[in-house]
A and B are shown apart, each in its own frame.
Chain A
Amino acid sequence: MEQLTQDYLRTKKLPHIWCPGCGNGIVTAALVRAIERTGYDQSEVVIVSGIGCSSRAAGYLNFNTLHTTHGRALAFATGLKMARPELKLFVIMGDGDCSAIGGNHFIHAARRNIDLNAVIINNHIYGMTGGQHSPLTPTGMKATTAPGGTLERAFDLLELARGAGATFGARGNAAQPRQLEQLILRAANHKGFSVLEALSPCPIAYGRRNKLGGAVEMLREMKDSAVSMEKASGMEPEELEGKTLSGVIFSTEAPEFSEEYYRSIGKA
């Protein structure tokens, strides 16, 4: 298994560019292990990514990899999937990349229920540009562009996806990598548009400014605040204050777009 993992990494491109304490490596490793467990042939897997820290993951993965423009990864992926529906696409995005500049593409990929696996690494901040607030930065948290704390409200990314028509939504975190791996595997096996939100620490551009401690403290907080769906169903609303739902948040079935298209033209 470890050897296989090595085959899926471009080890010559390592070490990666990420900062000490960054969670991107943990999420990327979980993704690689999950892909391994799908049993897909290496040649049928495509990694698509946008722009930002997390999107640099594509360059380290030994598949066909497509590092696109900021926010547009899902639109590139939609074209590729429609042209070659047999390919298995994983689309890595950051929180700003996916939900701000790429917000339109995100809701429309969800609406079409096209079989893409969106993996959004949410560190609540624009890391590569040095710490500006994103649509997933919680209200009140500080950023270079919100020195007094952001007044804006954050999206609930999975509720946004569900409302737009996505058929699978799950949340994991970098503190629980085995669960994350399991969730990515379930997302991959789901037919239709799947959204995996992976919470990840950015101690340098987010934690430090908000006095959240280092990577260890941020990971511990992530783990402590995560509540599984099963556990949450037996908890009172006040008990859930400050907690984050984790695991598979929703999973339904609906016609998948590329399959429907090829069926409609008599080619499926």
Chain B
Amino acid sequence: MAETKPVLMQGNEACAEGAISAGVRFYAGYPITPSTEIAEHMAARLPDLGGVFIQMEDEIASMAAVIGASIGGMRTLTATSGPGFSLKQENLGYAIMAEIPCVVVNVQRMGPSTGVPTAPAQGDVMQARWGTHGDHPIIVFSPASVYETFYLTIAAVNLSQKLRQPVIMLLDEVIGHMREKVMIPEAGKLLVEKSSDNIPADWKPYDEKGLTPLVPFGFGHYYHVTGLFHDQYGFPTGDPTQVERALDRIHGKLEKYRDEIVLTNYIGHKEPRVVIITYGCTVRSARAVVKKAYWQNRLPVGLLSLQTIWPFPGKEVAAIAKQADVIIVPEMNMGQIVGEVERYACGNAEVVPLNRYDGEMMSPDQISELLGRWL
């Protein structure tokens, strides 16, 4: 870890700075509330770093431009919010299929549709998982603080490169617009994990033997990139064996590196009766509750916060369910991750949803009131 210094920073800025620290030098985007500060920050910073900032004609084009730049060998980022995230789904699927790295930020706002553009909500959890068509793998991080935003964005960029897989940063409006202290590395010290630079002569873009680093265009490897099912050289195929193998390949790499991808954190009682499971800004309210209930009052309560929401931390949830009697799942939506929690709890614990969907932050009081039923 490089030398660090404390900085007061906004969540959206932290996302942009984290990306820069991880070597992102290309940003394409389109203005949308509440993510615009990320574009503005990149527009101010990238030119000085020799990077490219481009405001595209729409959200679809921004996603396309980012993929094009990644194929050119740059580390790339784009940011948007709900309506724009809907438009990005087409080319997000392309990047997954063609195994092109990129990081897509969705600073969530209240939906559906135009919704309440300035209000916080966690309504895009399932869209982040299943927004683009077909059976596809996806990685989604959900930070609970400005600090986490900074470091998870770095992790997102590095993982995206390593796995040649798009990674989504699913921010809450509250996180994007909040200012907090972050310890960031001194300027110029990049937190970049290099993929292998040694490219063998028989390099194949989609090698049957396993994951290979992407060799950018322009270096004499005349491969093909397509959203069609393709063979190990990138050429279209409809052969059932190869189609099945290709789908297993893109899912398999996430399974292989599952423990690097899935990040969770448990605080509280060692033998809890009630555990709160949540993600994003709701973690903050839950943490306040657990601090009081466990650290002050020594009640058998715990909190499992999910930094990674997709792939879903099923193993971690299953282990909690075997210990606890009750799992409370607070979410600022009508209940999205709670279904996954139920699935992995397998009936070993009672799973209780707690939902708020009025465009306001989930409060600690709401959670502690519900918690009081069992304690």
A binding-site residues for B, Cβ under 8 Å: 13, 42-44, 46, 48, 58-59, 62-69, 72, 75-84, 86-87, 104-105, 108, 261, 264-265, 267
Contact = CB atoms under 8 A, between A and B. Distances in A.
A83 B228 contact: no
A63, A80, A105, A264 interface centre (most CB from chain B within 10 Å): A80
Given A84-B217, A84-B218, A68 B72 contact: no
B56 A44 contact: no
A70 B234 CA distance: 18
B91 A65 contact: no
A27 B231 CA distance: 27
Contact of B47 (A67, A105, A264): A264
B211 interface: no
B91 A84 contact: no
B224 A67 contact: yes
A67 B217 contact: no
Contact of B58 (A68, A104, A267): A104
Interface string B206-223: 000000000011111111
Contacts of B226: 59, 67
Contacts of B216: 84
Main secondary structure of the interface of B (DSSP, over half): mixed
B218 A64 contact: yes
Contacts of A66: 68, 71, 217, 224-225
A87 B217 CA distance: 9
B87 to A, nearest CB: 11
A64 B226 CA distance: 11
A39 B217 CA distance: 19
Interface in B63-114: 64-74, 76, 90-91, 94
Contacts of A77: 68
B50 interface: yes
A181 B52 CA distance: 34
Main secondary structure of the interface of A (DSSP, over half): helix
Contact of A83 (B72, B90, B224, B225): B72
B64 A79 contact: yes
Nearest to A56: B236
Contacts of A81: 68
Contacts of B47: 264-265
B61 A72 contact: yes
Given A65-B222, A83-B52, A108 B57 contact: yes
Interface of B: 26, 28, 47-48, 50, 52, 54, 56-58, 60-62, 64-74, 76, 90-91, 94, 216-228, 235-236
A63, A72, A79 interface centre (most CB from chain B within 10 Å): A79
Nearest to A48: B68
Contact of A79 (B28, B94, B224): B28
Contacts of A42: 220, 222
A216 B25 CA distance: 52
B64 A68 contact: yes
B65 A87 contact: no
Nearest to A46: B217
Contact of A104 (B61, B62, B66, B91): B61
Contacts of B62: 75
Nearest to A13: B235
A265 to B, nearest CB: 4
Given A59-B226, A64-B217, A66-B217, 4 more contacts: A66-B224, A67-B225, A79-B70, A87-B72
Contacts of B52: 82-83, 261
